[in-house]
Amino acid sequence: MERESAIPRQHRPVRPLFHRSSSTLASMRAALVLIVLNGILFLVKAMVGVRYDSLAILSDAGNSLIDIITSVIILIAVRETGKPADKEHPFGHARIEPMAAFTVAVLTCMLATEVGREAVGRLLTGSTPQSDLIPILVLLGVILIKGAIWRVAGKMGRRLGSAALTAAAVDAQMDVVISLMALLGVAGVSFGLPWLDGAASLLIAFWIAWVGYRLGRDNIERLIGHLPDAKTVRLIRARLDLMKKTGKILNFHELRIHYVGSEIHIAVHVDMDQRLGIHRSHDLDEEIQAALTGVPGVTHVAVHMDPISLHRTASVPF
């Protein structure tokens, strides 16, 4: 018999499978902060890039424009993902976040193509941008700000299990590298090597393309139900093994673990003593679900209870 807490509500507290939590609100606030910061950085870099005719800085500004779009997408995705399950979406809206992150990956690759095209044109024409201390100071400030975003968004993404915030952290990491490359190009102009501006822009294009590819690949895997990381799988198995060692279950098998968007779903068959009866079986089912949903990222557990005679449980394969 397969059970998913299908017990009358009057017999137990209501435990919703999907709900908008404080983590959703925290993610939305983080997305709003990113929109404001990226908007300011875009305006500053765009003005300095135009003023000093630096393709490296303009490429960095184009990346900030993508960041603004990314932040808006993250905000919408986090809001929609946090909605509870409904009649049309009985398993919630967990796939929205990786879809949003994949959209970011596509936009990132589009930016890489445009930056690469402009960089090749700059190298072929051999135009010389203006040199000054201001572009260098601007890029140093951008590196410090983006480094802070990289650290904070990455920490929040891991803590909240948010694919969108993790994507924002990866994007901030990319921004730090991009700004370092732009700084190399601007410094090259100051030292009489104007071709470094175009070369730095070309390096930026390749880096953006690589990060976009990696981000897209990771989120496609989440959308198609990829297995979570090895650490999470080990933790899930360890909790089931503990219940087996303590005699609460006889064995478990046909364990299925996969992503549903940004959430982890589990299906497992559990061997139980056939003499337990329906009420004790229900309590065991609830205990298994509580143990497994305690693993970070796990939101849904389907337990199939297999009644087994103790006289024939000597060797049940996993």
DSSP track, 83-136? SPP-SS-TT-STTHHHHHHHHHHHHHHHHHHHHHHHHHHHHHHT------HHHH
Which residue stretches of the chain are H helix? 22-52, 55-81, 96-125, 133-160, 163-190, 195-223, 230-245, 277-293
Task: Give the separation between CA 83 and CA 24, rounded to whole angstroms.
Answer: 9
Same domain, 256 and 307: yes
Residue-range definition of the domain harbouring residue 148: 22-223
CA-wise closest residue to 262 among 184, 157, 177:
157
Of residues 44 and 32, more confidently modeled: 44
Same domain, 277 and 136: no
The CATH number covering residue 124 comes to 1.20.1510.10
Task: Give the separation between CA 275 and CA 133, rounded to whole angstroms.
Answer: 81
- Give the pLDDT confidence of 235-248 residue by residue, as tens digits: 999 999 999 998 88
Same domain, 218 and 234: no
Task: Give the separation between CA 131 and CA 313, rounded to whole angstroms.
Answer: 79
Same domain, 215 and 239: no
Any domain includes 289: yes
pTM for this structure? 0.58
Task: Give the separation between CA 288 and CA 292, rounded to whole angstroms.
Answer: 6
Residue 303 region by backbone torsions, left for phi larger than 0, else alpha for psi between -120 and 50, else beta: beta
Same domain, 129 and 206: yes
Same domain, 200 and 53: yes
Same domain, 127 and 262: no
- Give the pLDDT confidence of 179-194 residue by residue, as tens digits: 888 888 888 877 888 8
Residue 6: is its pLDDT beyond 50? no
- Give the pLDDT confidence of 130-154 residue by residue, as tens digits: 777 888 888 899 899 888 888 888 8
Same domain, 185 and 253: no
pLDDT of residue 170: 78
